[in-house]
Amino acid sequence: DTPMGPFRYAGNSPVSYKPTGFIGGAGHGCVFQMEGRYWKVATNSISVRHMFERRISFFPSGFDQDDYMYTDTYLGDYPMYLPTVDPEGSRPDWMLLSFRKPVTVSSSLSGYPAENLVDEEVRTAWVADGKKGTEWVQIDLEREADVYAIQLNYDEYGATQKGINPDLYQSYVLYASHDGKKWYVVADKRMKQTDTPHDYVEFESPFSARYIKWENCGYTIADQVSLRELRVFGKGKGKVPGAVSQFSVVRNPDDSCKAVISWTPVDNTQGYIIRSGIAVDKLYHNYQVTDSTRFELTGLNSGVNYYFTIDSYNENGITKSNMTYLIR
């Protein structure tokens, strides 16, 4: 009732949670208001080269009709609308087109292969061997798709700088192609001299392409250029997956804060999004799963009932399940 308490534990806690996806973490941070909307600022852990290696993310937040606080982390590392925009929903209906697609590169350092560029894991990276001239990356989307945005996530392999350094920058050119032979420029940043390790290019008008190519033009971070991920967002031109029709949830009898959810696989699926919460209309927790039909949940509250559902998705869109499962 007051900022000084007394306090009662919220049944839907944690109110900000993102354990999966390209980069996990939505806990530490703060909440602020802008344009009448609540937003959560959160730190995301990488912790590969240093235990405090972090990034900062923004997620829509707020309070529902029953005054339960929530944070919208559904596909939370896909593009989202800015706070000043007031669309229906928090993000455009773009999907990730580049996930685990064929990749070719100019060169690779041992232990840092090309496939790390499309594995949706911020902790892995591709590193060029540094022995050739212009380094490049080429992704085959396998079929024509409408491209709306591209995100380049640079790595810092071999970097020794500490603190702010005005001499650091990455410059590049992005190309697109229909056949992998004839290329045209879609973003020219050859003259860019700013440090943007997660540079994001959103196109004023989407374009259709099958191949996307990044070409390095300048990189002052280290001797060898490195990228964590090259993510292509847009709309595929195929069919969305079917709905998940069968799944079960088993709570751990020895630790009720844990449960295992498993489901029947769906064809033509890139991944699944488990949604859970304390009521059918409060499924605020999301778990993105791409390589299994089984997942262990470890963040439940003892003595709290939970509802679950599972969405399926691919590069063409999302299919919501009409099933919910209750565990007590």
38-66: pLDDT as tens digits: 999 999 999 998 888 899 999 999 999 99
pLDDT tens digit sequence for 208-252: 999 999 999 999 999 999 999 999 999 999 999 999 999 999 999
Query: What are all long-range contacts of 125-131, with beta carbons under 8 Å and residues at least 24 apart?
Result: 125/155, 125/157, 125/226, 125/227, 125/228, 126/155, 126/226, 126/227, 127/155, 127/157, 127/224, 127/225, 127/226, 128/216, 128/224, 128/225, 128/226, 129/224, 130/223, 130/224, 130/225, 131/107
CA atoms in the 13 A half-sphere facing the CB of 176: 20
For the CA atoms of 126, 127, 128, 130, the dihedral, rounded to the nearest 10 degrees, stands at 180
Q: Taking 80 as the threshold, does the pLDDT of residue 1 lie above it?
A: no
Q: Left (φ > 0), alpha (ψ -120 to 50) or beta: where does 47 sit? A: left
Q: Which of 60, 37, 145, 53 is nearest to 99 (CA)?
A: 145
The 3-state DSSP class for residue 94 equals coil
Which of residues 132 and 282 earns the better pLDDT score?
282
The encoded tokens of residue 130 equal 């540094």
pLDDT above 90 (res 28) = no
For residue 88, pLDDT over 80 is answered with no
The pLDDT value recorded for residue 26 is 79
- CATH C-level class of 239-328: mainly beta
Partners of residue 42 on adjacent β-strands: 29, 57
What's the confidence (pLDDT) of residue 158?
94
Angle at 173 between CA 170 and CA 175, to 5 degrees: 145
* Cα distance between residue 139 and residue 212, in whole Å: 5
Alpha-carbon gap, residue 311 to 269, rounded angstroms: 10
Average confidence score pLDDT of the chain: 94
State residue 11's pLDDT score: 86
Give yes or no for residue 163 having a pLDDT over 90: no
Nearest by Cα to 300 from 241, 263, 269, 255: 255
> Which one-letter amino acid corresponds to residue 87?
P
Tokens 């911020």 sit on residue: 122
Cα–Cα distance for residue pair 245/311, rounded to 1 Å: 10
Percentage of the residues of the chain whose pLDDT score is greater than 90: 85
pLDDT at 284: 95
Per-domain boundaries in the chain: 1-85, 95-236, 239-328
pLDDT (average), residues 177-201? 97
The count of residues in the chain is: 328
Q: Which of 179, 300, 284, 207 is nearest to 249 (CA)?
A: 300
What pLDDT shows up at residue 224? 94
Contact 144, 234 (CB under 8 A): no
> CATH for 95-236?
2.60.120.260
